[in-house]
Amino acid sequence: MALLLSLFLLLTAVVLALSPASAAAEPGLGSCQVFPDPPASLSPRAPSLPNEAAWNQDISKAPRDPRSAAYISYIDSHGGDHLHPDFGSPRAYGFPFASVGAGQRRLPIHYTAYGSESSPGPFPVPAGAPVEGGNVSDGDRHVLVVDRSSCKLYELYRAFFEAKPKPHWNADAGVAWDLNSSALRPDGWTSADAAGLPIFPGLVRYDEVAAGHLDHAIRLTVDSTRNAWVHPASHCAGDTSSAAAPPMGLRLRLKAGYGIDHFSGAAKTIAEAMQHYGLIVADNGSNWYFSGSSDRRWDDENLDQLKGIPGSAFEVVKSSAAVHSC
């Protein structure tokens, strides 16, 4: 009987640990703001987006790009043609991130591919920092860490922790971002993302959505991109020179006329953000997949509502920035 009681208590503890209600809150950012306050929202009379439009700029009334239909048609013809949240409640689904304080030990970063375009280490990235896809993943293995004492964001691509000979991280690329500045990467430089953009500011995070508002653009991947980029991107990894293909940094928004009143909860909040702040093409990947944080509190059935939005419900926002070929 004692053995059965012990087994029951153990199983109960496991179930409680895995339940959404007991899931831990996401790492806090302290007093850090993710980039400065944006410039004024654009009016219909504005000529186009400024070159360095902030992630959190309302572009709901910005002009539509005259090539919008061609872009959307190209995207839809190269993969799935409906929106898809690339995150949810499974532990390894989405982008995990860590938050550290001033006492966090800094570890050397050994770059294995794009060292000349990366920020020099050491970084305050813990040995146990969560890796996108999990520790055994052979995918992009992004690592995202916010230092809430300095309001710096540290991002690594293809990151592997090594304990010997001395603790360090190996990574293809890495960037230290100042969250107090919206400065772009140098033209032609990559980052932990193919477009040369930061990843963290474009994530749909559980806590902000649960608060009822999402006030920034969202990271988007598409299957095929042009060998070109447009600010706020600074780099490309395209597979075509077609003028109809989206360059890295292209900004889209959900059309104002697309009805979202039938959505509820997180899905409605996210759809509203797509109408007001849009999505930015940041990497090659599954078509119409948008990025969010890995969090066991997500309601997957609620997020599934967004899968019904077709690519044709989006349009491209006009930008005054030059399109740079790679």
Q: Give the model confidence (pLDDT) of 44-73 as tens digits.
A: 555 555 544 568 889 999 999 999 999 999
pLDDT digits (tens, 9 = 90+) for 189-208: 999 999 999 999 999 999 99
Q: Does any domain span residue 231?
A: yes
Q: Which residues have CB under 8 Å from 199's CB, separation 6+? A: 95, 142, 144, 155, 192, 193, 219, 282, 291
The answer to whether residue 3 is domain-embedded is: no
pLDDT at 25: 76
Confirm whether 12 is domain-assigned. no
CA distance 201 to 219: 8
Domain contains 22: no
Choice among 14-23, 243-252, 275-284, 298-307 with the minimum mean pLDDT: 14-23
**Domain for residue 28, yes or no?**
no
CB 196: neighbour CB atoms within 10 A? 28
CB 172 within 8 A of CB 142: no
**Which residues lie below 8 Å from residue 260, measured CB to CB, with a gap of 6+?**
254, 268, 271, 272, 275
Nearest to 192 by CA among 288, 240, 125: 125
Question: E strand or H helix at 84, and its extent?
Answer: strand 84-85
Query: Would you say 125 and 141 are in contact if contact means Cβ atoms under 8 Å apart?
Result: no
Number of domains, the chain: 1
Range(s) of the domain holding residue 194: 68-325
CA pair distance 312, 132, nearest whole angstrom: 30
Tell whether 174 is covered by a domain.
Answer: yes
Q: State how far the Cα of 131 lies from the Cα of 117, in Å rounded to an integer.
A: 22
- Residue 148 is classified by DSSP as T
d(CA 27, CA 103): 16
Is the residue at 93 inside a domain? yes
State the average pLDDT over residues 6-25: 39
Q: What is the mean pLDDT of residues 162-177?
A: 98
Provide the 3-class DSSP secondary structure of residue 38. Answer: coil
